[in-house]
Amino acid sequence: MFGSRFDGIRKHLNRIDQHFRGIDWKVGQIVPHPISCDQQSELRATLRLLTPQRAIGFCKVRFGSSADGGYVLLDDIFGITGAISLGIGSNNDWDVALAKRGVPVDQFDGSIDAPPNEHRLLRFERLMVDGPMLNHIAARYPESDRPDLILKVDIEGAEWALFDTLDPQILRRFSQIICEFHELRDLGKKDFRMRATRVFAKFAATHAVIHVHGNNHSQYVSVGNVPIPNAMEISFASRSRYSFAPSDELFPTELDRPNSSISPDHFLGAFRF
């Protein structure tokens, strides 16, 4: 009787051991995708595409609310003819802030019937936008000899497919882009890491990163012993509109605010890999 009971316990413990073997517990969440030393080098090369830089001659400013709904961009809307905001939910403070500065904003969100706040320069469509759709939306604006649009994207993970399929020439039309990238814990997966590399390399060809901020609604994760936030807000600025120099900033900066007020902001340091 006891032998049978012990066999059952042993089998149960073996299943537990197999479940947790190789799981990385070091920071925040569990990341059950252990990677090799060579793969860690690939990961770091991917993250180096996000090395923050300083736009020469321009200061940064926070647009929107003091928590979720607020993002850091360059304080430069001279000649900006419009903005596109993908993903609104219950907060469109960023859109309103730009509208108050005289920038018309086209808003898109398929999960709500109407935006929470109105302004005469806000135009809303109940639509979930993908890469090909964004190509058509951007084509509504007259062509210019320099980037004159701003893009904000917070679409809960769908940003990867959107930017992976977006025409690179469309990116060139945006003077600045702010996007929240989700599920960075999946950088431990080869297919996800390859997609992230394609997306960030596409950005790097036309834009430089000028600000990074970790969303503290989600935890830090350790991917192959590389600690990163699971969700990050990243601000990009056009290489054809601005000149850049190395940045000596530490993140978060005085412009940043925790997305969640119940826990401290993520400390990213210089965010160099």
Tokens matching residue 261: 């007020």
Per the structure, the count of domains in the chain is: 1
> Contact at 8 Å (CB) between 19 and 7?
no
Which segments within 35-133 are labelled E, that is strand?
53-55, 60-64, 70-74, 82-86, 105-108, 122-125
Q: Is the pLDDT of residue 145 over 60?
A: yes
Residue 251, domain member (yes or no): no
Residue 71 sits in a domain whose CATH number is 3.40.50
Please check whether residue 144 lies inside any domain of the structure.
yes
Asked whether residue 233 is assigned to any structural domain, the reply reads: yes
The answer to whether position 271 is within a domain reads no
Owning domain of residue 241: 34-246
Averaged over 24-52, what is the pLDDT?
79
pTM score of the predicted model? 0.88
- Residue 7 is predicted with a pLDDT of 52
Q: Is residue 219 part of a domain?
A: yes
Burial class (CB in 10 A: 0-12, 13-18, 19+), 40: middle
Could you tell me if residue 161 is inside a domain?
yes
Residue 262 is assigned to a structural domain of this protein: no
Residue 72 pairs in a beta bridge with 62
**Three-state DSSP class for 25?**
coil
In a domain, 261, yes or no: no
> CA-CA distance, 232 to 153, in Å (whole number)?
12
Indicate the range of 17-21, 76-80, 210-214, 261-265 predicted with least confidence.
Answer: 17-21
- How confident is residue 33, by pLDDT bands cut at 50, 70 and 90? low
